[in-house]
Structure 1
Amino acid sequence: PKVILTINVTSPDLFRVVFRYVNRGVDSVYGKVSLIEEKKFNACANCSEQIKQIVFPPSKEPSFVTVPHGSFGEPFVLNPNTWSVVIEAEDVLLDYLVLLPSAYYEAPILQVKVTEACTYSPSPEQSNQK
């Protein structure tokens, strides 16, 4: 079975896709997600269709899976346009998906530059313990 969604991307970015799902089977289910740019506004000749594999591990309770998995694989490159999201997987209950822009998974604003090495000075009580 296929699930087809239409989305509208308003600014160019790199995206990961997060799925909330349940796989009540005993084995992992393999599927794929395709993002297909609508042809009439095709702004990028090389990125009109992007396909990634999905692995849905067994889960009795709702779980999450990210595509591409963890930090492996390239994220989806989406330019402003209308896109179709095509999800193909057997025997998996899909609840929803989230398109996660790079600012959320790279979190550049949360990174602190370290300019001094860490130091450790034991307290007097710790110095006397051996």
Structure 2
Amino acid sequence: MAIKLNKAFNDLPFLPPKQSLVETIAILKQESKSAVALAELKGLTNTLPNPNILINAVILKEAQASSGIENVITTQDKLYQALYTKSAKPDVATKEVLRYRQALLMGTLLIKEKGFLNTNGIISIQNEL
């Protein structure tokens, strides 16, 4: 079956994909390299005076990128100004991205506390948004 990228509603294969399509040698090799890189990053993060700076930067970038999909556009400069400058009045898009960031942090905290994410946790995250 050929998938036509410029045509909607192709006859796509059912999910989940066959294991033989997912667990290829190339993917498994990359998985191993990624695990090593993440372990190195975790080790280096602990050498930072404040590891939360790195974590916050990643979460903020994710919030910005995910919001951009919904056509909520802001810049990293506006986000950091809104976070770290008390006199800055953020625009609507920046406020929305910051709420998304807060919801991500809330979800992470809920998972750390309970070890899982339940329906009540998802509702709490949605309320934050």
**TM norm structure 2:** 0.21
Greater percentage in strand: 1
More contact order relative to length (CA 8 Å, sep ≥ 6): 1
Greater percentage in helix: 2
